[in-house]
């Protein structure tokens, strides 16, 4: 029946008032921590930069297999099995052994109780396969292993990208996964992403290695260029320290040389290694290598046991700040390539806001006029419920501090149409009921009850579509589906609680009046 208890009336009124106040916090300055929440504007509304990064996992696979070669050598050496022709090619590891040892190799890899198993388990999470082809063993990652490795690299890269961007102080960045090898970075308000691109494009793989002229170095040696791409030096492949041993890095002004340097502090293990290396390497050059290029190669004058040092290389204060930031945030597990880039200026964003608001006002006004002309007093009730519905929608978005995009505004406009559609179904059904029922209360109650199935079917199917779009779509599609989905829920609330309550109040006072609708 058309009846609302006092408790329900108070509850509906209170909820509506709360959401109106929450929505108003986007337009009014309210000194309250709860109401300080606001809807964030997307790039297409406030301007900013959009970067889609792709992770190059090839070096990660190569590194994992390179580590496995050391494990295989050490393990089978203890079993007096000579491993021959150990090499990596096309992301596969190949090696051979004498025929009498083949079964030992297979058993060692496949038997969970073997001594190799603890080593193997370090890589088992990436699902390695071992097969014998033409008397040569081939170790490769399975399809599942590749997926797991990509996911692991993506998680690690996502965290490091977030650290680097947070260090810069970018306002409300949006950093999300895309697939299992891509990362989306949205930077609202940033119209010059050059510095961000430079920072994100660097792997920041830092190593300390001795410069050597001996090509017969027991660890091997390689020629690396300095950052000027002109000079080069031969450095040992033996890594004294890596970026993993750094606790902190900060730009500083060297009081003696009056140049900008990057001072660093090492952890306990790093300090011990650094102290030992500098004590035995007095007179040698220690190359500081970043992403395959030598930043500087100072000569060791004395033992450095304090666990701290500095990197010099003709830095400006900005470049020293960026280098310190990269070192603090850690090295990326794999290189990142920018495969898509967009920049929206603030003027264009404001134009989008204005266009969206104008479209919403025009659509909303036409709907209000039509519904009022068509249903008179009940059209007025519908319009009031429609306005409250918009406040409810904006209030929910505000609570979750959602990001509003131009497609999101389109979702709000569509919500207005769906809210009116529900009321039209109800009122037309009431007209049908009034033809056979003279009691206004029964006719109105029948109209609301008998139209419920059609309204729920239409809204639930649309809600399912919005949910699918949200989880399967990306970018603008998510913004549209979010506002549409929330709008459907607020519409059902406004139709069956707010509009119905106002209708009950009016009909109860005019239950004997003919031609109510």
Q: Which of 230, 503, 286 is nearest to 376 (CA)?
A: 503
pLDDT higher than 50, residue 120: no
For the chain, percent of residues with pLDDT exceeding 90: 17
Full DSSP string of 168-220: HT-SS-EEEEETTTEEEEEEET---THHHHHHHH----EEEEEB---TT-TT-
Q: What is the mean pLDDT of residues 208-225?
A: 79
Residue 3, pLDDT > 80, answer: no
Structure tokens at 332: 């990326």
Q: Where residue 123 falls among pLDDT bands split at 50, 70, 90?
A: very low
Pairwise CA distance, residues 246 & 328, whole Å: 7
* Number of CB atoms found within 10 A of residue 394's CB: 25
CA atoms within 13 A on the CB side of 335: 11
Domain boundaries of the chain, sorted by first residue? 6-44+347-509, 58-145, 206-339
- The residue length of the chain stands at 517
Q: Convert the pLDDT of each residue in 7-32 to its tens digit.
A: 888 999 999 999 998 888 887 765 55
* pLDDT above 70 coverage of the chain, percent: 91
Residues 6+ apart with CB under 8 A from 279: 303, 305
Q: Is 375 exposed, middle or buried (0-12, 13-18, 19+ CB in 10 A)?
A: buried
Residues 6+ apart with CB under 8 A from 480: 405, 407, 408, 410, 411, 469
pLDDT digits 0-9 by tens, 291-302: 889 988 888 888
- Stretch 353-380: mean pLDDT: 84
**How many alpha carbons lie under 13 Å from residue 238 in its C-beta half-sphere?**
15
Distance CA 506, CA 23 (A): 28
Pick left, alpha or beta for residue 266 (phi over 0 → left; psi -120 to 50 → alpha; otherwise beta): beta
The model's pLDDT over 385-443, given as tens digits with 9 standing for 90+, comes to: 999 999 999 999 988 888 888 888 888 888 888 888 898 899 999 989 888 888 888 88
Q: What tokens appear for 24 in the block?
A: 């108003």
| C-beta contacts of 291-297 below 8 A and 24+ residues apart | 291/202, 291/203, 291/204, 291/205, 292/205, 292/224, 293/224, 293/225, 293/226, 293/227, 294/224, 294/225, 294/226, 294/227, 294/232, 294/233, 294/235, 295/226, 295/227, 295/323, 297/211, 297/233
Q: How would you label 401-411 residue by residue, b for 16+ Cβ within 10 Å and e otherwise?
A: ebbbbbbbbbb
* The pLDDT of residue 35: 63
More confident residue, 354 or 271: 271
pLDDT band at residue 121 under the 50/70/90 scheme: very low
Which residue has better confidence, 255 or 187? 187
Cα 229 to Cα 208: distance, rounded to the nearest angstrom:
19
Residue identified by tokens 């009850």 is 449
Mean pLDDT of 65-79: 78
Structure-model confidence comparison of residues 31 and 358, the more confident one: 358
The whole-number pLDDT of residue 468 equals 93
Q: Give the count of beta carbons closer than 10 Å to the beta carbon of residue 219.
A: 11
Q: Region 38-59: what's the mean pLDDT? A: 83
> What does the pLDDT read at residue 237?
84
Residue 171: burial class (beta carbons within 10 Å; 0-12, 13-18, 19+): exposed
Report which of residues 512 and 371 the model is more confident about: 371
Q: CA-CA distances (angstroms) from residue 406 to 55, 463, 481, 485?
A: 29, 20, 12, 16
Distance, in Å, from the CA atom of 358 to the CA atom of 406, rounded to the nearest integer, reads 12
Q: Give CA–CA dist 516/461, Å, rounded.
A: 32
pLDDT tens column, 190-216: 766 788 888 888 888 888 999 987 666
CATH number of 6-44+347-509: 1.20.1640.10
Does the pLDDT at position 70 exceed 60? Answer: yes
Mean pLDDT is highest, among 62-76, 311-325, 337-351, for 311-325
SS3 for 326-381 is HHHHCCCCCCEEEEEEEEECHHHHHHHHHHHHHHHHHHHHHHHHHHHHHHHHHHHH
Q: Which of 166-170, 204-208, 286-290, 482-486 has the lowest mean pLDDT?
A: 166-170
Would the pLDDT of 251 be above 50?
yes
Query: Average pLDDT in the 442-465 region?
Result: 91
Q: How confident is the model at residue 126 (pLDDT cuts 50, 70, 90)?
A: very low
Radius of gyration (C-alpha) of the chain in whole angstroms: 34
Contact between residue 236 and residue 221 where contact means Cβ atoms under 8 Å apart: yes
DSSP-derived pairing of the beta strands 48-55 and 92-96: unpaired
Confidence bin at 511 (pLDDT 50/70/90): confident
Q: How far apart are alpha carbons 226 and 232 in whole angstroms?
A: 6
Considering the entire predicted model, what is its pTM? 0.63
Given this model, what pLDDT does residue 463 score? 94
The pLDDT value given to residue 124: 46
Provide the pLDDT for residue 122.
Answer: 42
Contact call for residues 337 and 54 (beta carbons, < 8 A): yes
Give Cβ neighbours of residue 156 (< 8 Å, ≥ 6 apart).
332, 333
Indicate whether 235 pLDDT > 80: yes
Q: Are 426 and 447 in contact (CB under 8 A)?
A: yes
The pLDDT mean for the chain works out to 83
| Confidence bin at 111 (pLDDT 50/70/90) | low
Query: pLDDT value at position 55?
Result: 92
Mean pLDDT, range 278-295, rounded to an integer:
89
Q: What is the CATH number of domain 206-339?
A: 3.30.1360.200
CA distance 296 to 275: 19
Tens digit of each residue's pLDDT (9 = 90 or more) over 143-170: 888 888 888 889 989 988 988 888 877 6
| β-strand partners of 296 | 288
What is the CB neighbour count within 10 angstroms for residue 40?
Answer: 18
CA distance 75 to 304: 36
């Amino acid at each position: 029946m058309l009846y609302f208890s006092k408790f329900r009336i108070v509850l509906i009124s209170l909820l509506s008032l709360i959401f109106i106040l929450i929505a108003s916090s986007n337009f009014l300055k309210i000194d309250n921590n709860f109401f300080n929440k606001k809807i964030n504007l997307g790039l297409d509304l406030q301007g900013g930069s959009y970067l889609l990064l792709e992770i190059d996992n090839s070096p990660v696979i190569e590194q994992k297999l390179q580590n496995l070669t050391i494990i295989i050598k050490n393990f089978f050496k203890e079993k007096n099995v000579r491993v021959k022709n150990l090499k990596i090619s096309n992301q596969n590891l190949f090696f051979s052994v004498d025929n009498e040892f083949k079964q030992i190799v297979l058993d060692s890899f496949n038997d969970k109780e073997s001594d190799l198993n603890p080593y193997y388990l370090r890589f088992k999470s990436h699902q390695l396969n071992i097969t014998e082809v033409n008397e040569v063993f081939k170790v490769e990652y399975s399809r599942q292993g590749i997926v797991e490795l990509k996911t692991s690299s993506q998680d690690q890269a996502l965290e490091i990208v977030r650290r680097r961007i947070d260090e810069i102080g970018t306002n409300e960045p949006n950093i999300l996964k895309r697939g299992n090898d891509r990362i989306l970075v949205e930077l609202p308000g940033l119209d010059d992403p050059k510095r961000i691109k430079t920072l994100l494009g660097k792997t920041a793989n830092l190593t300390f290695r001795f410069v050597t002229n001996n090509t017969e170095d027991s660890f091997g040696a390689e020629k690396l260029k300095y950052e000027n791409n002109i000079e080069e030096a031969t450095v040992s492949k033996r890594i004294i320290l890596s970026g993993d041993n750094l606790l902190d890095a900060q730009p500083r002004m060297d009081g003696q040389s009056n140049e900008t340097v990057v001072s660093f502090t090492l952890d306990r293990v790093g300090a011990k290694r650094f102290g030992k290396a500098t004590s035995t390497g007095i007179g040698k050059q220690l190359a500081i290598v970043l992403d395959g290029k030598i930043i500087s190669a100072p000569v060791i004058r004395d033992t450095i046991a304090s666990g701290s040092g500095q990197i010099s290389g003709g830095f400006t204060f900005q470049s020293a700040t960026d280098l310190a930031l990269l070192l603090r945030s850690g090295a990326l597990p794999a290189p990142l390539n920018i495969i898509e880039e967009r920049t929206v200026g603030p003027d264009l964003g404001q134009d989008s806001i204005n266009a969206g608001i104008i479209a919403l006002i025009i659509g909303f006004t036409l709907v209000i006029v039509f519904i009022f002309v068509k249903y008179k007093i009940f059209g007025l009730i519908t319009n009031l419920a429609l306005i409250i519905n918009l406040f409810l929608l904006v209030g929910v978005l505000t609570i979750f501090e959602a990001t509003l995009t131009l497609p999101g505004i389109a979702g709000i406009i569509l919500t207005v149409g769906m809210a009116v559609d529900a009321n039209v179904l109800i009122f037309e059904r009431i007209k049908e009921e009034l033809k056979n029922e003279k009691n206004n209360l029964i006719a109105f109650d029948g109209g609301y009850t008998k139209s419920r199935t059609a309204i729920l079917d239409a809204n639930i199917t649309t809600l399912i579509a919005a949910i699918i779009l949200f989880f399967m779509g990306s970018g603008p599609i998510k913004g549209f589906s979010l506002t549409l989905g929330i709008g459907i829920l607020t519409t059902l609330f406004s139709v069956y609680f707010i509009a119905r309550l106002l209708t009950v109040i009016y009909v109860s006072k005019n239950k004997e009046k003919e031609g109510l609708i």
